[in-house]
Amino acid sequence: EGVAAMGTLTMLGVWMLSAVITGITAQHAGQNNVAVLMFHPGLNVDHSGQVCSTWGNFHFNTFDGQFFQLPYACNYILATMCDSIMPDFNIQLRRTYDNDIVTSTFTLWLQENVIKLHNGNITMNEELKTIPSNQQGVRIERSTDYVKIRSSKLGLTVYWDKQNSLWIEINEKYSGQICGLCGDFNDVNLTTQQYGLKWKSDAITETCEQTEIHPEESMCEEYFYIKAFSGCHSLLPVAEFVEACIKDLCQCNSSQADCLCDTLSEYSRQCAHAGGQPQSWRTNALCDKKCPFNLEHSECSRPCQDTCSNQQTSQVCAEHCVDGCFCPSGTVFNDIEKNGCVSVNECPCTHNGNIYQAGESYTRTCQKCKCTNGRWNCVKLDCLGTCSLLGGSHITTYDGKAYTFQGNCYYILSKDKEQTVSGSLAQCGTQTCLTEVQLSIQGTTVSTLKFLSDAHTVNDMNDKLCDRLTIFRPSTFFIIAQTPSFQLTIQMVPIMQVYILVSPEKKGTLNGLCGNFNDIQADDFTTESGQKEGTATTFANIWKARSDCPDVDNLPQYPCNMNMEKEKYAKEWCHILTDTDGVFSPCHAEVNPNNYKDRCVYDTCQCANSEECMCAALSSYAHVCAAKGVLLDGWRNNTCKFSKCEGNMQYSYSQTSCGSTCRSLSGIDYTCKVKHTPVDGCGCAEGTYLNDKDECVSDSSCPCYYNNQVMVPSEVITVNGAKCKNLIKWLCILMHVHFLVTDCKAPMYYFNCSDADPGAKGIECQKSCQTQSPYCISTPCQSGCMCPNGQLVNRHGTCVTEDLCECFHNGLYYQPYETIQENWQLICTTKKCPATCTIFGEGHYKTFDGTRYDFNGDCEYLLAQDYCSNSFTGSFRIITENIPCGTTGTTCSKSIKIFLGVIYRIFDRYLEMLSNKKIPYKIHTVGIYRIIEASNGLVLYWDNKTSLHIRLSPSFQGKVCGLCGNYDGNGKNDFVTRAGEEVVEPLKFGNSWRVFTTCSKAKIVSSPCELRPHRHTWAAKHCNIINEEGVFGLCHNLVSNISRIC
């Protein structure tokens, strides 16, 4: 292990970390060293030794600073790699001269890509390209008045003025390996004749024509000694530029001022490359440049311009100054409306493709946002918490944590001190089904209400508790039950699914499979004893409501791996959820469809009746969208068509129970007081009402109701005040199961349900060390051996007191009073621990708050920073860029930049350092990882390839932003864009954190296994090692399975 000495950054420090990139020739494949580079955004660093340029009438300036002119209409190699059969790059040019007009064609071979630049147009592999564009690691973008072509993979950048000027910047790693007119980049000069003859690359039968040059007197020298160039004289050989200027005049038939422009402009550019800062030298009569809108021309300003959508671009700009049009000091470019430069407080905002001016606002579910200084300032509104159990196995907690669990027991879904919602999961064929939802209300006795998957309901409520409960059926597909604590929306068609809604007042008071509803997603797998479980399986096993159910093992094999035909069918139909032009697309901005698509494919592959489960998955997305205010009318038109409703009912996408029954005409309709999400299904048409026979009739055909007595129309009766107990039909099920008397091991005793009082509870309510529910999920009484009062049954089947129960954590049992360690430190409920963001493989992310998502773009992206809300006060930034390899664009490495310790303010287009923070850091190697530690609480681990871990101390909690999320403990709100808006789509979120908006946005790409299906089986076979008990067996109960990501 090599440890670097502690260093101190006294100005903006940038660590540029890069690994060996597959495909680089052995001649320049270096070691994986970390280069600690320093730059100051206010200074223009000399890098002229890495620049070769050509301009005007056949002028060249090599990497080693040699000037020459080749007035031939030939094809020349500008730069390529010497002695290489397959060079990384080969850049060529051809110039033609016709009636004082010089036309240039540049051809760039960048590995497998061929780019041609001619007459203002750009083609790549014979395809006309627009700006910006990304393809196979080559980025084409605009930089002020120039086109910038960059390959981070090669370390090569080309600038083109869309006419005759072009310059090439290359990485220092190519020193001594370059051939062509640009020289060999080794400080050894050659003659003009050697350049021309050696690097001519014409066809065999082609003859080059030389342009005649006639010397004449000129005023060239005077122009190079004007005051604007005074800072350049010590940096550049003026005489050689004067000579080039004279040659331009000799070949030019236009006005003298026009003929001077190419070389004067090149002198200004070369001065900037050499670290100088040329001043404004253009006049209305000499090489004048007109700028659009209210932009101003400058000879030397940073090309990274601040815009309304990214007001921090200049803070991370390490590029040298260039000439072009720039915004006046104190303004930014309005890239949203593209109408010039404005002050920051005039910047507009965008939302769902619409432009909002400063001061305008919008309201969406649970949020109100106002446009201020080009950012959305959003205020959270009190909102209901929602937990769902879909497809029998997919649970999403109140705080948004989604997981899959194949249960086989009664489980506590959610509970508070008074009420408990539980569900029965059972194996039904090849899948897991929700067969029952049970609501228990604690009073002097426990009353229960059961909803069965066959659409029947069992009531065990006493009269007093019935007053606290409203139950109704808004459509034939759904039942809604409202209590003081919960609202249950139970879907019955095509399969049973349940949504549990709770008010904001319940935050932090709930437990169960639905989590604790405290806005901290990361602790949703926390048990009542305070232990945090590592996987969904170990967590769910703790919430069994019956002690006689066995624990369930970790997830079985991915069901689509078992049936390729079903997988093809599932992906084809479930794809409609993510189709950007499909019927579900209006909801994409509110609800991310990707998780629903994955569940849809999973369930469709697993179910015996694939279409039934597929339709259930589609309906669940439609229901969640309706809860967000997006009604998806017509989604059943082409799939999951509903054939016909019973009787004279009609199907509707938005059914409600309020005022739709005959009973509602005779008195108060209590269902109208229950606010619920519109649901689909069959119901009565407008103007008709549901009677007690489930028929839709006119109001004149409805009977009258008085104290639960039914009176036919016109009937007059005497009423004795009978009570109403039921709002829907109850089906009471009485079942007695008899067991043979068996011998019980003391202190257990045999409990016989046949000899017990009515309502007695048997072994189904035996309390155990493993079950956490104080309530009993009572099926019909079951006889068997039970422990005496005050004792619990342990996992060995013996009776113990509670203090002698073993503890269960992450799949392991611990003896009473035994202590454990986790994450190399004692478990402590008061100590705040650091958080880690992980990036690995092909764009897989896990944020500081535990949210997993995929995003794979070709730009530089901001991973994390504490300069949030356009603040200039912070201590670090981390930027990364994927480095592709091969012909498929697979990511093989990363380029990483770390900015440490400085505060800036904008001053006359440059960044002036206002104050300086000294942040000590050290770099060392442990195993395969390069580790960078800074004293401000930042630690970075990098494997020199594609895996990166960023650890932040708790002092950064709630202060960071970027692709790693906001580190506020709530993974549900991690997708906050640079503009301050919370979104649901990873693509929109990721694109907002591009470092430079000139880089093109990433687009949705197909799954790699869908693009290359022939590799799917091979990949699944090799990645299955993660699921095997051998190598990774001990991890299965500690971390989530990522074999599908593999």
Q: Which of 997, 1019, 1034 is the last residue of a domain?
A: 997
Render pLDDT for 731-771 as a digit per residue (tens, 0 to 9): 222 222 233 345 788 888 888 887 777 777 888 788 888 77
Residues 1030 and 985 both lie in one domain: no
**Longest Cα–Cα distance in the chain:** 125
358 within a domain of the structure (yes/no): yes
> Closest by alpha carbon to 111, among 884, 1001, 841?
884
738 within a domain of the structure (yes/no): no
Instruction: List CB contacts of 837: < 8 A, sequence separation 6 or more.
Output: 845, 846, 847, 848, 863, 864, 949, 950, 952, 964, 965
Render pLDDT for 771-806 as a digit per residue (tens, 0 to 9): 755 566 656 777 888 888 888 888 888 898 888 888
β 89-98/75-81 pair status: antiparallel
Q: What angle do CA 685, 689, 695 make, to 5 degrees?
A: 90
d(C-alpha 304, C-alpha 322), whole Å: 10
Domain harbouring 443, CATH code = 3.40.1000.10
| Dihedral class, residue 988 (left if φ above 0, else alpha if ψ from -120 to 50, else beta) | alpha
Residues 248 and 188 both lie in one domain: no
CA distances from 609 to 425, 431, 433, 565, 714 (A): 18, 10, 12, 14, 50
Instruction: List CB contacts of 681: < 8 A, sequence separation 6 or more.
Output: 474, 475, 476, 477, 478, 493, 651, 652, 655
pLDDT of residue 158: 96
Residues 859 and 951 both lie in one domain: yes
Phi, psi of 178 (to 5 degrees): -100, 140
- What's the whole-number mean pLDDT along residues 389-394? 96
> Closest by alpha carbon to 732, among 423, 422, 441, 461?
461
Render pLDDT for 541-556 as a digit per residue (tens, 0 to 9): 999 988 888 888 866 6
Contact 421, 439 (CB under 8 A): yes
148 within a domain of the structure (yes/no): yes
The pTM of the full predicted model, rounded to 2 decimals, is 0.80
149 within a domain of the structure (yes/no): yes
Render pLDDT for 683-692 as a digit per residue (tens, 0 to 9): 999 899 998 8
Q: What angle do CA 821, 834, 16 make, to 5 degrees?
A: 125
d(C-alpha 465, C-alpha 445), whole Å: 10
400 within a domain of the structure (yes/no): yes
Confidence of residue 903 (pLDDT cuts 50, 70, 90): very low
Residues 364 and 397 both lie in one domain: no
Residues 843 and 984 both lie in one domain: yes
- What's the whole-number mean pLDDT along residues 922-934? 91
Per-residue DSSP letters for 984-1009? S-HHHHHHHTBS-TTSPPP-----HH
Q: Which of 515, 542, 569 is the last residue of a domain?
A: 542
pLDDT of residue 913: 35
39 within a domain of the structure (yes/no): no
Per-residue DSSP letters for 755-806? GSPTT---GGG--BSS---SS----S---EEEPPTT-EE-TTS-EE-GGGPP
Residues 990 and 887 both lie in one domain: yes
Percentage, residues of the chain above pLDDT 70 = 82
Residues 54 and 177 both lie in one domain: yes
Render pLDDT for 473-516 as a digit per residue (tens, 0 to 9): 999 999 999 988 899 999 999 999 999 999 999 999 999 999 99
In this model, does residue 929 exceed pLDDT 80? yes
What total number of domains does the chain contain?
9
pLDDT of residue 887: 63
> Closest by alpha carbon to 703, among 691, 719, 717, 688?
691
Instruction: State the Cα torsion 455-461-465-471 to the nearest 10°.
Output: 10
Render pLDDT for 268-282 as a digit per residue (tens, 0 to 9): 999 988 888 899 999
d(C-alpha 24, C-alpha 208), whole Å: 35
Contact 502, 383 (CB under 8 A): no
Residues 709 and 610 both lie in one domain: no
d(C-alpha 525, C-alpha 910), whole Å: 49
- Is residue 103 exposed (0-12), middle (13-18) or buried (19+ Cβ within 10 Å)? middle
203 within a domain of the structure (yes/no): no
Q: Residue with structure tokens 């019909």?
A: 780
Q: Which of 702, 731, 760 is the last residue of a domain?
A: 731
Residues 277 and 355 both lie in one domain: no
Q: Residue 328, preceding bond cis, omega within 30 degrees?
A: no
pLDDT of residue 1: 36
The residue range of the domain holding 231 is 220-344
865 within a domain of the structure (yes/no): yes
- Report the SS3 class of residue 79: strand
In this model, does residue 45 exceed pLDDT 80? no
Query: Any idea which of 662-676, 837-851, 1003-1017 has the lowest mean pLDDT?
Result: 1003-1017
CA distances from 760 to 755, 764, 780, 781, 783 (A): 10, 11, 9, 7, 10
**What is the side-by-side order of every strand in the sheet holding 101-110?**
127-128, 121-124, 113-118, 101-110, 89-98, 75-81, 178-179
Render pLDDT for 355-365 as a digit per residue (tens, 0 to 9): 999 999 999 88
Residues 849 and 992 both lie in one domain: yes
Render pLDDT for 1004-1032 as a digit per residue (tens, 0 to 9): 766 788 788 888 888 888 888 888 888 88
Residues 421 and 310 both lie in one domain: no
Q: What burial letters (b/e) apply to 244-282, b meaning 16+ CB within 10 Å?
A: bbbbbbbbbeeeeeebbbbbbbbbbbbbbbbbbbbbebb
Residues 684 and 537 both lie in one domain: no
d(C-alpha 538, C-alpha 552), whole Å: 8
In this model, does residue 975 exceed pLDDT 90? yes
d(C-alpha 467, C-alpha 599), whole Å: 38
Phi, psi of 559 (to 5 degrees): -60, -30
Confidence of residue 437 (pLDDT cuts 50, 70, 90): very high
In this model, does residue 707 exceed pLDDT 80? no
What the block records as the tokens of 534 is: 């590592």
Query: Any idea which of 342-346, 417-421, 882-886, 942-946 has the lowest mean pLDDT?
Result: 882-886
